[in-house]
């Protein structure tokens, strides 16, 4: 497992768990949960998390960007125009070029607007950004995103914050077969078993925020998710047996008394 490294653009990571920084009671709780999770990448909602106003508590005071990679995202953006402005601002503030694109289509279900998402991806990649894209689990649209230069494909498992787990396993399996860039499950993970399942399907990583931040014990859940991702990855690499509708004896057939 020591040589099993997650590669995103030119960056290498030992952890395959990406953690969000929103919804915690405070930044201190957020920082502790992230430390326990072992995550090496944290998402930062540029429009919601304070990363520039020094008159207020800064995220950098709690999570060192030299030790953990910040992944600026466009949470709360409903148009390509807003998403582009937000990520350009992130580049000006912190010099970030590896970013997470999220263009939502409605305020109720928070599904991505794939037309605006594709348009934004095309613009950002031409401007030199390395774009990790939150998207639907539509194999055709995901392939178009990849062909447009996306650095990672991040399909939802279920609506953001729902905790429903992977709802469309067939599409995720298709995506695993066709996707050459990192495939990261983003949104909808609720339990540790959901994270195990995503990793056993061959996904490269999972992104989790609500399931940890809103758990009754976020620190214990952070550790649970860490172990789940590691377990699921090991299971995938081990090569699971082929399921069968018939039984197969565990003991040898020869030499019976």
How confident is the model over 44-68, as pLDDT tens digits?
987 666 566 666 767 788 888 889 9
Query: From CA 42, how far away is CA 244, in angstroms rounded?
Result: 40
CA 111 → CA 68, 142, 156, distances in Å? 28, 15, 9
Question: Residues 149-163: what's their mean pLDDT?
Answer: 94
Check 100, 119, 130, 226 and give the catalytic one: 100
- Looking at the predicted structure, is the pLDDT value of residue 253 above 70? no
What domains does the chain contain, in order, with CATH numbers?
Answer: 11-238 (3.20.20.70)
* 241: phi then psi, degrees, rounded to nearest 5: -65, 155
Tell me, what's the pLDDT at 245?
85
How confident is the model over 206-236, as pLDDT tens digits?
999 999 999 999 999 999 999 999 999 999 9
Is 100 one of the catalytic residues? yes
Question: Residues 148-169: what's their mean pLDDT?
Answer: 94
- Looking at the predicted structure, is the pLDDT value of residue 6 above 70? yes
Confidence of residue 254 (pLDDT cuts 50, 70, 90): low
Tell me, what's the pLDDT at 106?
87
Give the chain's length.
257
């Amino acid at each position: 497992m020591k040589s099993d490294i997650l590669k995103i653009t030119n960056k290498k990571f030992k952890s395959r768990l990406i953690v969000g920084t929103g919804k915690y009671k405070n930044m201190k709780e957020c920082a502790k949960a992230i430390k326990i999770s072992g995550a090496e990448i944290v998402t930062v909602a540029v429009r919601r998390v304070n990363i520039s106003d020094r008159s207020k508590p800064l995220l950098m005071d709690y999570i060192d960007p030299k030790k953990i990679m910040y992944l600026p995202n466009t949470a709360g953006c409903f148009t390509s125009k807003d998403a582009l402005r937000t990520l350009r601002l992130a580049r000006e503030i912190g010099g970030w070029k590896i970013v997470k694109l999220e263009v939502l289509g409605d305020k109720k279900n928070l599904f991505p607007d794939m037309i605006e998402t594709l348009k934004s991806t095309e613009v950002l990649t031409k401007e030199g950004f390395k774009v990790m894209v939150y998207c639907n689990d539509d194999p055709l649209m995901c392939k178009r995103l990849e062909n447009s230069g996306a650095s990672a494909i991040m399909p939802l498992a279920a609506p953001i914050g729902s905790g429903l787990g992977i709802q469309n396993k067939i599409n995720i399996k298709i995506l695993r077969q066709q996707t050459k860039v990192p495939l990261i499950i983003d949104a909808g993970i609720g339990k540790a078993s959901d994270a195990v399942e995503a990793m056993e399907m061959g996904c490269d990583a999972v992104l989790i925020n609500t399931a940890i931040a809103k758990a009754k014990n976020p620190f214990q859940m952070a550790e649970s998710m860490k172990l789940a991702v590691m377990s699921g990855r090991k299971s995938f690499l081990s090569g699971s047996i082929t399921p069968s509708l018939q039984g197969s004896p565990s003991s040898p057939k020869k030499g019976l008394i």
